[in-house]
Structure 1
Amino acid sequence: MAWRKWGLGLLTMAYPLVIYFGLQHYSPRVMALALVVLALLRAATSRQTGWRVTALLAAALAIAVLASDHELPLKLYPVLVNVAMLAVFGWSLRHPPTLIERLARLREPDLPPSGVAYTRRVTQAWCVFFVVNGTIAAITALAGSDRAWAIYNGGIAYGLIGAMFAVEWLVRQRVKRRHAEGHHG
């Protein structure tokens, strides 16, 4: 089962590059099939309502491509993913515990109040990230070249996600160290 999730994750990550290179040789309608396949796989493998809704919206983008033979809806998929992630993280801010707190409690079930506050700030930071990343994805889709869209959405965006994880991990280590020093000093 884990290989399915990894495979779907890799397919999702490769999507911008697949679309970019595919559009060099095929019509948008043909490339819409890639989005249909991705949407069907996402819907079939996810138990979470949010991902199923995202899959349905992705299918709607594919239908728009099939009807119009225009590539723009294909390029809006990364925007859709950022909106979905913003919705999930934002919803958890309004209906605690936050998503980050839930993940933190997997490792530390007795998360102290300072940890809860920290995970809330991290969730807020991810919300800001998804707004900024989704905005850039939209700009590249609407006003950028196909190449700029593919480079940003198929590479730079993932580098930024990795940087976000790395910076958060470093900050978390510092916060934990300060918290530990405060209890011992």
Structure 2
Amino acid sequence: MSQAVRVARWLGIGLLLLGYPVLAHYTLMNVENGKLGAVVAVAPVFVIGLIYAWKSSPQWVGLSLFVLAGGAGAASWTLLEHHFGVLYWMLDAGMQCVLFMTFGRTLFGERKPLCTHFAEVAHGVITPQHAQYARQVTWAWAVFFGLMATVSTLLFFLAPLTVWSVFANFLTLPLIALMFIVEFGVRRRVLPAGGSSRILDSLRVWKDQRKPGHRTQPAE
């Protein structure tokens, strides 16, 4: 991938992350424009569903289910226009719940805590102290996303729609970024310098491992 394409891709992602929340907030503050609100609310579901359907195996099954789901959405479009705010909430709280379960399910049974996996990807063999810290961080992220889903749900049903929209559209990403910053600061204090890499480095190594043809070298 050329540098220009890479820059354009990241600019597009940045504009999407900034533009979509603003548009979503606008539609929630102008609920009388149900058509626009329904389109904006459905757009992420449509894109994510299409991606999963295209990558499914066998592909025809995924695409068939996607078409059926699209037909059901079209049939209930009038209902969506009148209640598109509920879909916004389902997307926000649902994503937080998915992340909560992604971290939380690795903390039980014989599973390896997710942050322990990231640490091993970045460092290979890690110390018992590092492993214990990584487990605690996995708990912290699970609790964080569980609280985010809970707050989103309480605000949606109990607070004015404006309050929920500000929280969901403008505070979610900054709060996640703040969580990263706080965790990084704690990690720098708790772990030796050798065990304190940036989380983005860990994710980058993990992403590289998933590329076709890449083989992890066993640690000696």
With normalisation by structure 1, the TM-score equals 0.72
* 1:25-84 deviation line (CA, Å, top 9, x unaligned): 73143334323334336536889xxxx9xxx9xx79x94973623121222211000100
More helix as a share of residues: 1
The letter for the 2-side match of 1:31 is: V
Query: What is aligned with 1:66?
Result: 77
Which residues of structure 2 form unaligned runs of 5+? Answer: 57-61, 196-220
Which of 28, 43, 46 matches 2:52? 43
1:105-145 deviation digits (Å, cap 9, x = unpaired): 22211111211111000000111101111111112222233
- What is the root-mean-square deviation in Å for CA atoms of aligned residues? 3.6
Instruction: Say which is worse superposed, 3-12 or 154-163, in terms of deviation.
Output: 3-12
Identity of aligned residues (%): 27
- Return closer, same or farther for 1:87/1:4 CA change in 2, 3 Å cut-off: farther
Change (3 A) 1:153 1:8: same
Q: Is the 8 A contact 2:99 2:145 kept in 1?
A: yes
Note if 1:112 corresponds to 2:127.
Answer: yes
Identify the residue that residue 75 of structure 1 maps to in structure 2.
89
More displaced, 25-34 or 146-155? 25-34
Residue 183 of structure 1 corresponds to none
What's the counterpart of residue 84 of structure 1?
Answer: 98
The residue type equivalent to 1:137 in the other structure is S
2:114 maps to: 99
| CA contact 1:98–1:120 (8 Å) conserved in 2 | yes
8 Å contact from structure 1 (residues 100, 120) kept in 2? yes
Counterpart of 1:30?
Answer: 39
Partner amino acid for 2:113? T
TM-score by length of 2: 0.62
Aligned residues: 170
